[in-house]
Structure 1
Amino acid sequence: EGFVEVLQEMMVKEQEKWKKDVEPVRKALFKTRKISFKIINSTTLLLPRWQEQVANTEFKDRILPRDIATRWNSTYNILAAFLEMKDPV
């Protein structure tokens, strides 16, 4: 009740501009999810390399969070972790 689909209310040109403006954010989200997934699931190559990378930092006991489709805040957690650990990443 009261919820309006914003994109449906936009004109075609506004939708195209919105999609163009949002594309860099979508690409960044895709890349962060992909990097996190690859590090976590590569137990022989990337995970050991990640552990070496963060061994002498305050993040030595941390791993990048997973993106879970049913948890809306997992994407936020990944982005927050990437910002916090931007040097090792």
Structure 2
Amino acid sequence: MEEVPDLDVTNDEQSATGIDNDEGWVDEIELLTPEELEELEEAILPVKLALAKVSIRFWAYSYANYCFQLCKLAIKLVHSTTILLPVWKSTLKELRQAVTIMPRDVPTRWNSSFNLLEYALNHRKAIDTVTQRRELGLRKFELGDHEWELILKDATLFFSRSTPNLAMVIPAMDHIDKVFTTASLNDRYTLAIRAALEAAKKTLN
């Protein structure tokens, strides 16, 4: 009987041919020449940028959604002095928490977003209790487990991150650019200051 040749391929042979060791699939990228790889990177760059934008927009939408919910709830509690506010205070007492008012996210107040989210996390049980009571009409402000997870993630990671997130950097850069542009054209400042501002603006861009 004619012997069947050994078809087993060693790991070294697999690596040389670009075959994945686990599944036997060919890794086409490993087979590309440096020129072809550079061409591929250029071709997929728009896709990468689009995915980055989608990711940022999804985060921004999620962040805006639950922040809006918490802000509206805070306003409702503060302005309903005869019904909702007393219920909120009594709920905090029942949970043996200090009786406090939920802060609001004010655009002109530094770090107010973080303060709101931090407060919400520390008073999650009270917020859930109040929003789940149908007779109070606050069910539309109820947050699901997934939204609470996002709040926890933002409060512990996003706001404490040493490297600013792109969603925060872009508005800040736009604001700085606007201030520099306005000041560099203002005759109140000396020529030296305006020249320095113009140079700073060019560096920023």
What is the TM-score normalised by the length of structure 1?
0.72
Q: Which residue of 1 aligns with 2:124?
A: 86
* CA–CA distance in structure 1, aligned partners of residues 81 and 105 of structure 2: 17
Q: Which residue of 1 aligns with 2:39?
A: none
Shift of 1:59: 2.1
Q: Matched residues, percent identical?
A: 28
Shift of 1:47: 0.4
* CA–CA distance in structure 1, aligned partners of residues 87 and 110 of structure 2: 29
Matched, 1:56 2:94: yes
- In the TM superposition, structure 1's runs of 4+ consecutive aligned residues that sit over 3 Å from their partners are 10-14
Aligned pair count reads 80
Matched, 1:19 2:57: yes
Q: Say what the alpha-carbon RMSD is for the aligned residues.
A: 2.0
Amino acid corresponding to residue 89 of structure 2 in structure 1: Q
Shift of 1:76: 1.1
Amino acid corresponding to residue 116 of structure 2 in structure 1: I
Q: Decide which moves more: 21-30 or 57-66.
A: 57-66
Amino acid corresponding to residue 22 of structure 1 in structure 2: A
Shift of 1:68: 2.5
Equivalent in 59, 73, 78 of residue 111 of structure 2: 73
Distance change (3 Å), C-alpha of 1:87 and 1:71: same
Structure 1: gaps spanning 5 or more residues: 1-9
Deviations 1:8-61 (A, max 9, x none): xx9455424421343112111111111111111211221011012112233242
* CA–CA distance in structure 2, aligned partners of residues 14 and 68 of structure 1: 28
Q: Which has the larger radius of gyration?
A: 2
Structure with more relative contact order (C-alpha pairs < 8 Å, separation 6 or more): 1
* CA–CA distance in structure 2, aligned partners of residues 43 and 17 of structure 1: 40
Structure 2: gaps spanning 5 or more residues: 1-47, 128-205
Larger fraction in helix: 2
What is the TM-score normalised by the length of structure 2?
0.35
